[in-house]
Amino acid sequence: MTDTTALESEFAARIEAASDLEALEALRIDILGKKGRITELMKTLGTLAPDLRKAQGAAYNLLKDAVETKLGQRRQALGDAALAARLAAETIDVTLPARPVPEGRIHPISQTIDELVSIFGEMGFAVAEGPDIESDDYNFTRLNIPPEHPARQSHDTFYLVGKDGAQYGNVLRTHTSPVQVRTMLGQKPPIRIIAPGRTYRSDSDATHSPNFHQIEGLVIDKTSNMSHLKGCLVEFVRAFFEIPDLRYRFRPSYFPFTEPSAEMDIACTRGNGELKLGVGDDWLEILGCGMVNPKVLAMCGIDPAEYQGFAFGMGIERVAMLKYGIPDLRTFYEADLRWLKHYGFLAVDVPTLSGGLAR
């Protein structure tokens, strides 16, 4: 009869020595597989006398059980060790400081546009866009500024000239108002859009740049009136300048595309070389606005007998300069890194009405 004790200790030692799960599996096949050591021993049972066969069979079964238990224990141990090693290798130190915020800055113009979009977005305005190169028709005529209209003179327009020297009726848009035309031609009322973007005028000094930015607003429906215009803009300036009781006034004005037209001023105090917004007896002009001229509605495919609405437009640099105390317009375009570091914003300063517009 074969002594299984020696075999058992031999197998136990080899199982213990298996250094990984792969080696352990090879060992299992070697001992218990189809051609394994124990399987081979089992096959010899048939040659034994019945008594002996019974005793020897029982001994082999015990050996087999013992080997299986040992294999199971070793498998568990090796699995645990592998997991522990993996956890150790992939560990993350959550107490380490976050990666430093990148050095780059958001330009004050971009930040201001984000603020404006966020304020008007809360009021339900959608953002509309138009091209920088506009037709004379959209930039002027359909806004009730026909050729020879004196208002054209005040726009210092860049007229585009073809390669052959001829003019094909295109201009660099002098204001964002052509987006009003595009929107009215392209969609049915009710309309509630803002259109921020680049604008161009052939004018350059401390307060004028040939390329600057405006934001336009347009609301068209059946009932919008001057009091809605007023409420909307008062709400806006107070949110934008973050002065809840900011004083303002509306002054009658003239724009060919609105009737009646007005300009909005906000109160300020000047003194000791300082400008304080919201209080005082001085006034700062901040935007132009009015009820959309019925002629403009008609030229843009909207029936003025059925619809009415209001529009407004303002210079983005101007409100940014006022809000952030930036004294010279030209510095916006100089790409001076020291200036940008001073007046720019961090990428994490995302303006929201609830979180604060700017920090």
- Select 27 or 179, whichever has its Cβ closest to ligand PHE: 179
**Coil, strand, or helix at residue 248?**
strand
Residue 193 beta carbon to ligand PHE: minimum distance, rounded to whole angstroms: 12
Count CA atoms closer than 13 A to 36's CA, side-chain side: 17
Residue 119 beta carbon to ligand PHE: minimum distance, rounded to whole angstroms: 17
- Select 175 or 213, whichever has its Cβ closest to ligand PHE: 175
Residue 226 beta carbon to ligand PHE: minimum distance, rounded to whole angstroms: 13
Interacting residues with ligand PHE (CB under 6 A): 175, 177, 216, 255, 258, 288-290, 311-313
| Interacting residues of 78 by C-beta distance below 8 A, sequence separation 6+ | 18, 20, 21, 24
Residues in the chain: 359
H or E stretch at 219: strand 211-221
Residue 173 beta carbon to ligand PHE: minimum distance, rounded to whole angstroms: 10
- Select 27 or 287, whichever has its Cβ closest to ligand PHE: 287
- Select 240 or 343, whichever has its Cβ closest to ligand PHE: 240
| Lookup result for tokens 């007896």 | 281
Count CA atoms closer than 13 A to 344's CA, side-chain side: 19
- Select 290 or 351, whichever has its Cβ closest to ligand PHE: 290
- Select 312 or 332, whichever has its Cβ closest to ligand PHE: 312
Q: Kind of pairing, strands 248-255 and 258-271?
A: antiparallel
- Select 121 or 260, whichever has its Cβ closest to ligand PHE: 260
Count CA atoms closer than 13 A to 236's CA, side-chain side: 27
Q: Would you give the end-to-end CA distance of the chain in angstroms?
A: 90
Neighbour count for residue 192 (Cβ, 10 Å): 20
Residue 232 beta carbon to ligand PHE: minimum distance, rounded to whole angstroms: 13
Residue 221 beta carbon to ligand PHE: minimum distance, rounded to whole angstroms: 17
Calpha distance 171→135 (Å, rounded): 6
Residue 183 beta carbon to ligand PHE: minimum distance, rounded to whole angstroms: 12
- Comparing every residue's Cβ against ligand PHE, the nearest one is 313
The token pair that represents 126 in the structure block: 């959608």
